[in-house]
Structures are given as C-alpha cells and as structure tokens.
Amino acid sequence: MEVMQCIKSVVAAANHYGRNKNDINLINLQRQLDVLISVTADSSNLRHLEHKDLLPMECLASLVNSLNDTTHSGEASTLAQKIMLLLTNFAQKNEIRHTLYHTLHITPLLATLLQQNDNEPTIVQCAELLQRVTYGEKVPMKERYTEDLLQFLVENILAAENDLTSPCLGSLANLCRNNYAVQTHIKHMDYRKKLFKKLFAYIKHKSKRISAFALSIFTALCKDEDFGQLLYDSKNINQTFQMMFNTLVKGDTMARKYLVDLFIDLLINSKVQEYLVGFPSVQPCMKQILSLLGSGEGEIVYKLFELLLSCCKVSGLRCIICKTIMNISSLKTEPVGREMLRQGQISEPFFAVVHWIGQSVESHDRAPLLALDFLKEIYEEIIGFGLISKLPPRTDIVLPKITETLMSPMGDVKTDSVMQKKCQKITKSLELLLVLCQDESLRREVSESVDEETLCRLIEYQFSHNAIAMNKTHGQLEDSQWSCKGVDVVLCTLELMLTLKKLDPNMASPLAKLLQDDRLVPFLAFGMTSDSRQRVQRSLRLVMSASQLEEFQTVTLGEAISSNNSSKHQSWQERKQLNTNSSGLSDSPYSAPIAPTKTSTFNKENVPTVKPGSRGTKRQAVDQDESVQLLIKKMQSGLDIKDARASEIISVYEHRLQSLQTKENHLQDLLDTKALALQQADRLIAQFRCRKAETEAELHKLHSLLLESEKSCEELRDQVNEMRLDREQLQIEMEQLIQDNQRLDAIADEHKDLTQVYNEQSQRLETTQKALAALKQEHTTMSEMHEMLRRHNETLKQQHDVACQQLSELEDERKSLSRNLKESDSKLQDLTKSHQKLEQTYSKTAKERDELEESIDICRENLEKNEKTKKDLQRQVSSLELVLRNHETAIREKDTLIQNQKTEIEKHNQIAQLINQLSSGKAENLNK
C-alpha cells in the first residue's frame, strides 16, 4: 500500500535524523515528508489507515518528537512547517485527531510554539493545526498553557486582520464551545468589551468562514448578556436565523461545520426552538439545506444530517421537514423516480438520502448511518400521523437499498472500526424496517422484499465470528469492539422475524430453530445485562416469545446472566481496589496544611515528570477523616455545641477541611502525572516493538536481496552481450528519433503559446466571477443592514413622540401654576382693601393676619413642591436631550422649546419672589 510505504520511509528518516542531526538526514527527512504530504492531501488515502496499528502510531510519535526538537533556525522552521502540514492532513481523520489530542498531548506543544516562535508562516501553520486538533474537544482550563493560549488568541483577534485571524478565531471557537470555565475567563478579561465589538464586526465579514467563527464565539460568550440581545432578541433573531441559513447554503465546508455545531447548541434552548418554529422562512431554508445533500461531500453531508436530526427532535419542525422532502412531484411517479436514481441524478433531496443510504461506511464514514436515522424519523412522522395517503412513502426505492445492505458480505472487512460501523449500518437498516412494519400495507412490502435466508445469514455470521458467542463477558471484549454492535444485529434481526412471521409462513420454522439454538443464549444474556434500555427491552421480548418453545435454554440463560453480573461486579471491585490503592500511596497528615512540594519539568517527549514531596501515614489520615465525619453527623443531627470555645473548635475544623481540600488537589495532580507517565511508557513500548519489527523485516529483506542480486548478476552477463548487438540498431533508430523530436519541439512551442493565452483568459474569467460573488455578498449584507436601520429608526420615532407628549404635559402644568399665581394676586388686593376698611378693629385684623400667614405657608409649600417637580422635569429633559441630539433637525428645534420653557420657569420664580417680597412688606406695615 502506497501510504504505508511512505509512512515507513518517514519513520525511518525521522529516526535517522533523531540519532544524527546533520544536513543529509535533514534533507532526506524533508524529502520523505513532502512525498507523504502529497499522498495524504487527498483524504481518501487515509481511509484504510488505522490509528491503532503500530506503524501509524510510531509515525505520529516520531513527528511529534521531531516537532518538539525543532529550533528557531531557518531549516528547523521549514521542517516544523512540513511536520505541522502533514499532521494537519492526518487530522482529517477523526480517530487520528483524537489520538493526537488525548494520547500524544500535542496541544501544549502547539501552544508553546505559538508563543515562542517568531516566523510568521510557522505560526500560521501551527494555528491551523491547533484549530484542527482542538475541534470537538474540551480543553481544561486548569492546564498551565490554557490561559496563555487564550491571551495569545484574543490579542491576535483584536489586532489588524491578517493570515492569523481566521485560525485564531476557529481555535477560540473550539475552546469556547461547551466550556464554561474558558467562557468565564474570557468574560473577566480587561478588554472583553473590545473583543465583543470586534466579534460583532467580524460577523458581518465578507468571508463566510470568519463570519461563522465569530458568530460561534459571540454566541458562546454573549448569548445571555445584554450585548447578545443584538442578535438573539425576539425582534432580531429572525434576521440571525436568515444569516445563519445563508452561510450554511453559500459557505465553504469549514463554515458549514461550525454553523451546524452552533445550530445544534442553540436548539437545546426551548425559546430558540419556539423562535425557529415561528420563523417565517423556515420551510424555504430547510428546502435549501435538503438540496445540499445531493451536491455535498461526505464530511459536510454528515454534518447536515446531524443538523436535520437535531431539528427533527423539535416539536413542529419534523412535520415541516417531512412535508418538504416528500411533497415533490417527481416522487409521485414511480418509474420516473427509479430512473432518476438509476442514472445517479440525486438533485432531489429524497433521492439524495436514498443514495447516501446505499454508500459504504468504508468510504463515507458515518454519513450512511445518519442517513438511515434521518429516514427513520421521516417514516415515523408519516406513519405516526397518518400521512401515507397524502405523501408517497416510495418504499419501492428504499427497500432495494436496504436489502442490498443486508445482503452485502461482511467477510471482506479487515478492521474492527469498519466492522463496527458496518454492524451499526445493518442494525439501523433493520430498525428502519421495523418502523415500516408499523403500517399494515408497508409491512407486506417489507415481507415481500426481505427473505428469511438473508436474515438467517446475518445471524449465522454473528454466531460464527462474534466474540460474545464464545461466552466472553463484558470486560473481555476489548480486543473485539464490534462484538457489542453485533448483539444489536442479532436482536434486531430476530425481532424483525417475529414481526414478519404472521405474513410469511416460511419465517416460522427458521425463527423457532434460532430461538432454541444454544448459541443465542450469550447474546440474550448480554442484551439483558446491558446498560442500553433498548437492548434490554428487545431481549425481554425475545425471551417472552422463546419461552413458549419447549427446547428453549432457560437454565443456560440464567447461568449466563449470572456470569455476566458476577464479572461486572468483579471488574467494579477491581477498579475500586485500584482507586483505593492509588489514593493510599499519596496520603498525607491532616493536622497541617499541605505545601506544594512537587516540581514539574518537561522532558524531551513533552511529558511532565513529577518529583513528589514527603507523604504521611494512611492510618492517621483515616482516623482524622472519621473524626471529621463524626462531627458533621453530630452537627446535622441537631446537637448544639454549648461550650464557650465553640467558635475556636469550628475554626480549627474549617482549617482542617481546607487542608483536606488542598490534599485532594495534590492527589489529583499526582494521579494526572502518573497517567501521563504511563502513556509515555506505553508509547515507548510501542516504538520499541515497531523498531524491532522493522529491523527483523529489513534483515530478511537484505538476505533475500543478496540472493536475488547473485542470480541477477549471472543473468546480466548474458544480457550484456545481447545489449551490444542491440546498441548498433538503437543508434540507427536514435537518428530517426532525433529528427522526429525536432518536429515535436516546434509543435510544443506552438502548444505553449496557446496554453499561455488560454491561462490568461481563464484567469480573467475567475477574477470576474470572484468579483461578482463578492458584490452579491455585499448586496445581501447591505440589505440586511438597511432593514435593521429602518426598524431602529421606527423605534426612535416612537421615543420622539413620547417626548413630545411629556413636553405638552409640562406646558399644561405651567399654565395651571400661572393661574394659581393670578388668583393669589387678586386675593392680596382684596386683603389690602379690607385692611384699609378695618383698621379700627385691630383684634379682627390680627386674626385675619394669622390666617393670611397660614395661607402664605401653604403657598410656600406649594412652591417647594413645584421646584421639586421642576428639578425632576429638568432631569427628564436632560435625558431626552441625549436621545434627541442624534436625530434630525426637526428634533433639535424641540431643544429650543425646552430652553424657552426654562426661561418661563425662571420668570415664574421671579414672580414668586416678588409675591414673597410683597407679602413680607405688607406684614411689616401691619406690625407697624
């Protein structure tokens, strides 16, 4: 195999360079890396590559070690770029990406290279690899490198846009997804507001990929904040949905992946589900997404099926999706649909789904599995709500694909992962048939298309090759991971045979034989003791049906169930004992706080080595733990501590509890370092085994080459004589070829001129097409911005109308105050006249004077209240001024009216002061 040969050459070159770092070995390693990069650029070449094999694991370990050993010289930076490019190609396969992150722990190494390297191409390649490796992983915040990595990513996002912007946004989106600790850390940064504004600006970027990354980060950080209401408010969420659907339809593969993940995270919220169901354009948007199934690649189709399955879980959306995919005119005519599918025309969504059902799991990974799940959801909607009469089920197209899947041979599969996926595909196909059997008419079609020989062949294969048939328990299935999936194949097949038994008389006798077969007992026992609810229910249904037969092995089944339970209990006890022993190795006294006495360094393999400090005895820790638990029980039972030193006792125990917490953290650190050391040891063992196998293989190869070389030497002697005679003939032919070559050179020159003209024309066409696409994108974004500004203008006009109403109310209050002042003036004039007339009656005037003083006090109180209202009105006017300054010139004229009101109020104050002066002057005259 070409990929394995290239990997073997890279491993050998990396080992030579690691032992002797000279220019020759470096050039050889770079040459081998270039070859493997060109081979792995096509993801289809990684299809048969298993990450558990020794050679690929050795290659990954060698690449990580070489990357760790690179320096800042020019050659080393070139080598680092090529290694990271190769690892990026390898990370296209999910299993290898998982190995790089969890087994080889490449994330700390990449974080260190990002911060210490000054070469821009190396940093860009490192950021792209970091984005690829951290996709779908949850990076812990407690790691030492995480905070510095977040700081680096945020600083590059806030900087001017460059080549680092896109990978930094993608990496930050990976770190923020479903990681509350990282989100909290970013929200507490000093420049978080600046980051939020920058992300909001990137959402409107012309690049769909950058827009998708920014929207994912913005949603994770600001969805529940006030700033996030700009996108997810009830008024704006429809525009956000439209923008996300547009990016899904027009974006590239990376943008679509991140937007699908964002959609899946948003659909967890019930409010977002309600908004999406009420979205006016949800049906056209779903139609556009369904249309992508026929034109997309395997990776993006897998993500689209994930999105569709998440939408099917929302009440109200599954019906819309079902009607959209099934209510097509071409589906109503059977011959047309079969002919389109036969010719490979999968432009229609339903035909595309059926096409993906028939694809192999070896070439398209999990896309066929999700296609089966999606089609099961569609048929559950059609059958459950009685839509068969309205929507054509088209089982005439689906059933041949299902039977083809059931009849496909399983003996050709060589790897466990592919076998596991193939068993899952067969299980999901059988589950789809069970869903179709819920309707009486469709059950007859299923019975006619599926025969008992095919189903019996599936069960016989599992009986012969499944590890569970050899009475292996749950804990003994590590070497054969597909065996658990094979149990589902057996259970689903038997359940389908039970369902079709009434319609197919030929199904009864093989079903009875299978239920009474001794080899079925381990599968039923495994299903009944499984953690899966569906397996247990299917096993119980089969046991209930089989219990009516005479030769059913009831006793054997009970013994098998008991054996599985005992093995589970034993494995649980072993894990518990292992955890107890590991915790007992690092116990320390509780009487004093634990000081951090360990030092950690990084060795050549980038794995921390730990030097632990002193440890205490286990017995003392257990006794003090029991005393703490006893005190907690007494306090919970209600026993009051009445001693005068109760507070001191509580403080002592609080101190001890804190020491317990620090001890627990210390133990956790030791366990983590121990796990890292074990992983490093496993990796070294794997490297040693690989190198030993390589040396033995090379030894045998050299021996065989020596024998072949001796035989070839004798043959070559005879060939030399023949070659001498042929040389003379070849010289004559050579002269003729030289003449022909001259004529071909002239023709080649003319061809080069034509190709140059063609390239120039094609470049012009590409530039015009790119410019047209960019203009279309700008047009859509500008239309969206215009709609947002129009709505914002309407809200501001409403605020302006409210301000006008408040000003009119203030004018009415001012007029009422002026009327009261005029009435008070008239009363004062009447009082002066009565004072001149009643000078003789001094006692009466004194009483009237008292009454006048009381009325004046009341007026003063009223004036104070008016002043308070005036201050409140001034505050309201100032707040309105801030709003009205940003509007049109008509709003500014209202500011002048407010100033006129202020002058009138000042005049009112002057009038009030004059009244006070007049009243005080009259009082002095009366006293005189």
Q: Please give the share of the chain, as a percent, with pLDDT higher than 90.
A: 19
pLDDT digits (tens, 9 = 90+) for 792-826: 888 888 888 888 888 888 888 888 888 888 887 78
Residue 894 is encoded by which pair of tokens? 């209202």
Mean pLDDT of the chain: 80
Mean pLDDT of 430-444: 91
Measured CA to CA in angstroms, residue 260 lies from 267, 268, 784 at distances of 11, 13, 22
C-alpha angle 622-626-631 in degrees, rounded to nearest 5: 150
- Looking at residue 166, its pLDDT comes to 93
Measured CA to CA in angstroms, residue 336 lies from 285, 290, 330, 341, 498 at distances of 26, 20, 7, 9, 35
Q: For residue 707, what are the contacts with CB-CB under 8 A and spacing of at least 6? A: none
Torsion region of 532: left, alpha or beta (phi above 0 gives left; psi -120 to 50 gives alpha):
beta
pLDDT digits (tens, 9 = 90+) for 227-249: 778 888 888 899 999 999 999 98
Name the least confident of 135-139, 197-201, 532-536, 877-881. 877-881
> What confidence category does residue 331 fall into, taking pLDDT thresholds of 50, 70 and 90?
low
Residue 665 is encoded by which pair of tokens? 């953290």
Select the more confidently predicted residue: 581 or 512: 512
Q: Which amino acid is at 647?
A: S
Are 604 and 514 a contacting pair, CB within 8 Å?
Answer: no
- Looking at residue 550, its pLDDT comes to 81
- Cα 107 to chain centroid distance, Å, stands at 18
Q: Please give the share of the chain, as a percent, with pLDDT higher than 70.
A: 83
Name the least confident of 305-319, 436-450, 471-485, 688-702. 471-485
pTM: 0.63
Are 368 and 415 a contacting pair, CB within 8 Å?
Answer: no
Residue 144 is encoded by which pair of tokens? 């030492």
> What confidence category does residue 371 fall into, taking pLDDT thresholds of 50, 70 and 90?
very high
- Cβ density class 659-675: b for 16+ within 10 Å, e for less: bbeebeebbebbeebee
- Cβ density class 246-274: b for 16+ within 10 Å, e for less: bbbeebeebbbbbbbbbbbbbbeeeebbe
Residue 635 is encoded by which pair of tokens? 């306090």
* Dist CA 247 CA 243 (whole Å): 6
Name the least confident of 91-105, 401-415, 863-877. 401-415
**Phi and psi dihedrals of 602, rounded to 5?**
-115, 125
Please say if the pLDDT value at position 50 is more than 80.
no
pLDDT digits (tens, 9 = 90+) for 822-856: 887 788 788 777 766 766 677 766 777 788 888 88
Mean pLDDT of 123-135: 93
